[in-house]
Amino acid sequence: MSLISGTSWALPTIGVAEIAVEKNTPSFLSSNSVMIPDNPTQQLMQQQLNALSAQIKAHINQASLLQLQTQEMDAKVINSVSFNFTQTEVSIESEPSLINQFANAASQLNPLNSTTNTAESQISYPDYMLFGTLEALNAGNQIQLIPGTNQYSNIYSLDLAINYKLIKTSDQVIVANFIAAGHAGEPTLQNNSTAHIPNDSNRLIQQVYAQLSNEVIMRLEQQFNESSTVLSSVESSITPTPPNLKQ
């Protein structure tokens, strides 16, 4: 019998911090790109990043009813899992910027910590924290004239990438580090003699957020499910000792 299926375990708790934005956000585009930037939409996407975090939280709650039913595991077990992306398995002490993010997010999740003199032992922190940093952001049009006609193709696209770190709060070790990306595009064929057809930016932004949040959930499920598999494998390799029936 599996240790996981045969025992009642509480789900691990996770806190999702607000996405951090650096002063200079890099672009996906090369220096010789022909895309015409849509700066207002880029700014709108950046301003709505909190909505993306809220969407990820909602998806985590939904997914936990299905696949995130794993117990809080020993650090040695979860750190032994190989991840598809760069597996850091290092303390956040090696990344000073994360220390401040960790402290601020923990304070936000636990209001008592910032409003009263509640003892540290009385403050409940989540088992894991998910931190995201804006990695790249683009919105714009790529226009190409169609020879011999008065028409042109207009490819409007949005791209967003977030660098995520999953941290185990008990020892502040980074157990997973991955980049999640979202994309949405809308190609149209337009006429030079008519008014430009505007793009539905809000709808496309929602598509980007939905794609990115789904990828985050997939990565979290992979992390916890593979950790469960490791634990079950270790358990199955143990040879049981038969009971002593001699009186």
Tens-level pLDDT at each residue, the chain (247 residues): 222 333 344 567 777 878 888 777 666 665 556 678 888 888 888 888 888 888 888 787 776 533 332 333 333 333 333 322 233 334 445 555 655 665 555 555 443 333 444 444 444 567 788 888 898 888 888 888 888 888 888 888 999 999 998 888 777 788 888 999 999 988 888 888 777 777 788 899 999 999 999 999 888 888 877 655 443 333 333 333 333 334 3
Query: What pLDDT does residue 46 have?
Result: 87
Our measurement of the distance from residue 156's CA atom to the centroid of its chain's CA atoms, rounded to an integer in Å, reads 25
pTM over 0.95: no
Q: Which amino acid is at 187?
A: P
Position 33 scores a pLDDT of 62
pLDDT for 115: 43
Helix (H, G, I), strand (E, B) or coil at 172: coil
Pair type for strands 173-191 and 14-16: unpaired
Q: Which pLDDT does position 32 carry in this prediction? A: 57
Give CA 211 to chain center in angstroms.
Answer: 11
What pLDDT score does 75 carry? 34
Q: Are 130 and 14 in contact (CB under 8 A)?
A: yes
Task: Name the pairing type of β-strands 14-16 and 128-145.
Answer: parallel
Domain residue spans of the chain: 15-233
E strand segments, 98-214: 128-145, 151-168, 173-191
